[in-house]
Structure 1
Amino acid sequence: MVDPDGGAFITVGLNHADESNLKYPHNANIWREKYGSRERWIREGVVKDLKDWGFNTIGWTQEYISGDWGVALDWFGDPIDLGHSSTGWSSADFEAANMPYVLQLRVQEMEDWNGHPSFRDVYSRDFDVYCEYLARNICFDHAGSKNLIGYFLVDIPAWLPHASGEDFEQLKGLSEAERNEKLFDVATKYYETITKHIKSYDPNHLILGDRYNGNKGIPSAVLRAMQPFVDVLSIQYFTEPTEESRNGMRDDLARWHEETGKPVIIADIGNWTPTEMNPHRTSGIEDQSGRARDYIDAINTVLREPWFLGWHWCAYVENKGRGWGIKDPYDEPYRDFVGPVSEFNKGVYGVI
């Protein structure tokens, strides 16, 4: 990417900066004594941390607050219902931060993590009016921002059949082949409708598109439908801490890039290990040093690819729902993770 001053820009983002993680009974005193206001938390907490750690972008700010992450990864299993915080950052918050950032327009409530999805009729006047409202409500205030990178749409949308069995009415009862054929038409109308309204209010910034679920897969019909309307292929991808898994991510991203011709952002990627508050969050990683090694190895797998625009890491402050973060539940960084990751982040431009 190119920044407003004409310089090359790789987005190194951090997701889920949500102040509610510091307002539990166990840590509310830290919020009151250390910050006391949202603006101070943004300036002296989020912005300071991101810059100290070599991150240059405020990623998707909604936070995962409930549910069971182990079940969440079984997108084809029983219906899941993972709550996310409903409040994002305002335009005034981003002005106070004065850092590059992204925004999201929740065009449909059809996320893979949503146990009660809603699939609006994309051909209806109501959908058109709703998309116009989203653009008017969100894009209007950010159209002139020098820090905005662009707009995400739905977080891991269920373009493949949703675990709950819900689907667009036009796709219900169809065979797999019939569904794939009709899916192209539905997705085309979806992207055409929301992007025309975004561009009517803000012609200046990128349309980053849906944050696809790379671990589940992306239908070719949807990728073909998005091509004329979306600038960037944005994909969530969580790897196992193995070379095979990381190479699998690179190969998947490269294939989807070839299929669409779009550059790629990894919109969400992360790892975890047991902690004092969340000992049940087990993985193939034993400690925070192991998390740092896996972070570096995962990003190095794709960093030199010519189609790669950057990544947004999950997540900021550890909470009871997600169970991991760069900071512990008491707002202290996990030093064994932060040290190597900060050095790596700050050396990205030298590598590429």
Structure 2
Amino acid sequence: MSKFSSYGEDEKRKFQATGYFRLEQDHEKWCLVDPEGNAFVTIGVNHADESNLKYDHNFEIWKKKYGSRENWIKGLSKDLKDWGFNTIGWTGDYISGDWGIALDWFGDPINLGHSTSWSAADYKYADMPYCLQIRVAEFEDWNGQPSYPDVFSHEFDMYCEYLARSICADHTESKNLIGYFLVDIPAWLPHASGRDFEVLKDLNEKERSSKLFEVASKYYETITKYIRKYDPNHLILGDRYNGNKGIPEEVLSAMKPYVDVLSVQYFTSPNEEGYQKMKKELSSWQKFTGKPVILADIGNWCQTCMNPNRVSEIKDQSGRAADYIDSLSVILDEPWFLGWHWCAHLENKARGWGIKDPYDEPYHDFINPVKEFNKNVYKNIYQKV
């Protein structure tokens, strides 16, 4: 019988313990290593936020079942561990509006109202591995009014130092922090709104390519030097790139000297063709950068009572579970794959899907097969190593 460490992974693959999460490459296989020296596959959940239980339709459930943020977080932590998840991923959530008016990444973006990220105290209540975001700039693909900073300015340099100092100070000694994400699906390709970095406007294709590399290089250099200044102990996971839209090679070249992990959001079509396309593109970006990969945001959906217009090729919760397992099985034993973070925890009116329904009950037809898959990940990955 396998023995599991306090971080939730099989203890059969051991490395030197350093007290913090780090990377190792063993027999061409990339591994996250936990503070105790065990190989770790990050199996996370994104968008875990109590705001999803504070709508008119479920506020009474939150009051009666939890009554405080601390109690809710402890309940969440128990849920995740019971389901075979071991990481708290990106914690901001889309909470405003209804799905019927939500964004189209490839069309007209809207302003998405997001909840705030967790505090350092929140992560202590949870007491499990987690990732933090440092939002260096506000030029996300989902942002209806993106703001592109002048990365060469003294003001940007000062702002990056402030961000790193203010965020990293509370986490630098954390044994549970895996590392820092930067911007969520940043618009390195032209934004749907037409906005762009000022220095890239009116350039021809060749000029833009050269200048984009300079902009991205300065962006990564500036923020990462301050993260490492105030926290030399944890990984820099980089931007959560929008894999469905594409990632410019100039940006990938720029990030290589400064970022430890290639983090990609990718929502695949629920079929073998879609799974293989995801694998091919992740593999290509990985080969180009030489970095191990975290699938930093992946999810699926089907029609529900609250979101009947949330249609896809997936017909029900059992279909969602099958897609979860099939999509991840395609890349599970790739030597560059470090794990995945699932979107999302609890269904709301704005985002439109989750592991739990809007009344805080798990979708059992989804989570039961997923739980079994999650808890067998180490056997499935390392049986061939």
Residues 92-121 of structure 1: per-residue CA shift (max 9 Å, x gap): 111111100000000000000000000010
TM-score, structure 2 as length reference: 0.89
Contact 2:100–2:309 under 8 Å retained in 1: no
1-structure distance, mates of 2:99, 2:55:
20
Considering fraction of residues, name the structure with more helix. 1
Instruction: State the match for 1:50 in structure 2.
Output: 80
Provide the secondary structure at the position in 2 that maps to 1:208. strand
1-structure distance, mates of 2:266, 2:99:
15
2-structure distance, mates of 1:202, 1:24:
37
2:61 to 5, 30, 40: 30
Contact 1:83–1:114 under 8 Å retained in 2: no
Provide the secondary structure at the position in 2 that maps to 1:103. strand
Number of aligned residues: 350
Q: Which amino acid aligns with 1:200?
A: K
| 1:298 correspondence with 2:327 | yes
TM-score, structure 1 as length reference: 0.98
Say what the alpha-carbon RMSD is for the aligned residues: 1.1
2-structure distance, mates of 1:16, 1:76:
22
2:41 to 10, 22, 25: 10
Q: Which amino acid aligns with 1:6?
A: G
Q: Which amino acid aligns with 2:161?
A: E
CA displacement at 1:65 relative to structure 2: 1.7
Instruction: State the match for 2:27 in structure 1.
Output: none
| 1:19 correspondence with 2:57 | no
2-structure distance, mates of 1:72, 1:229:
34
CA displacement at 1:71 relative to structure 2: 7.3
CA displacement at 1:199 relative to structure 2: 0.4
Q: Which amino acid aligns with 2:80?
A: L
Change in 2 beyond 3 A, CA 1:208/1:72? farther
CA displacement at 1:69 relative to structure 2: 5.5
Instruction: State the match for 1:65 in structure 2.
Output: 95
Instruction: State the match for 1:208 in structure 2.
Output: 237
Provide the secondary structure at the position in 2 that maps to 1:218. coil
2:188 to 155, 159, 172: 159
Contact 2:51–2:95 under 8 Å retained in 1: no
Change in 2 beyond 3 A, CA 1:22/1:71? closer
Provide the secondary structure at the position in 1 that maps to 2:219. helix
Q: How does 1:173-322 map to 2 (within 5 A)?
A: 173-322=202-351
Gaps of 5+ in 2: 1-31
Change in 2 beyond 3 A, CA 1:295/1:183? same
1-structure distance, mates of 2:101, 2:212:
27
Instruction: State the match for 1:108 in structure 2.
Output: 137
Provide the secondary structure at the position in 2 that maps to 1:120. coil
1-structure distance, mates of 2:183, 2:259:
13
Contact 1:270–1:314 under 8 Å retained in 2: yes
2-structure distance, mates of 1:350, 1:11:
15
Contact 1:328–1:334 under 8 Å retained in 2: yes
Q: Give me the identity figure in percent.
A: 72
CA displacement at 1:325 relative to structure 2: 0.3
CA displacement at 1:74 relative to structure 2: 3.9
1:122 to 135, 142, 151: 151
CA displacement at 1:323 relative to structure 2: 0.9
Provide the secondary structure at the position in 2 that maps to 1:151. strand
CA displacement at 1:83 relative to structure 2: 2.5
CA displacement at 1:240 relative to structure 2: 1.0
Gaps of 5+ in 1: none
2-structure distance, mates of 1:62, 1:74:
19
CA displacement at 1:25 relative to structure 2: 1.0
1-structure distance, mates of 2:99, 2:251:
27
Q: Which amino acid aligns with 2:138?
A: E
Provide the secondary structure at the position in 2 that maps to 1:302. coil
Change in 2 beyond 3 A, CA 1:150/1:249? same
CA displacement at 1:349 relative to structure 2: 0.2
CA displacement at 1:280 relative to structure 2: 0.5
Contact 1:72–1:113 under 8 Å retained in 2: no
2-structure distance, mates of 1:155, 1:17:
16
Residues 23-54 of structure 1: per-residue CA shift (max 9 Å, x gap): 111111101100000111111x2101100100
CA displacement at 1:80 relative to structure 2: 3.1
Q: Which amino acid aligns with 1:149?
A: I
2-structure distance, mates of 1:119, 1:336:
43
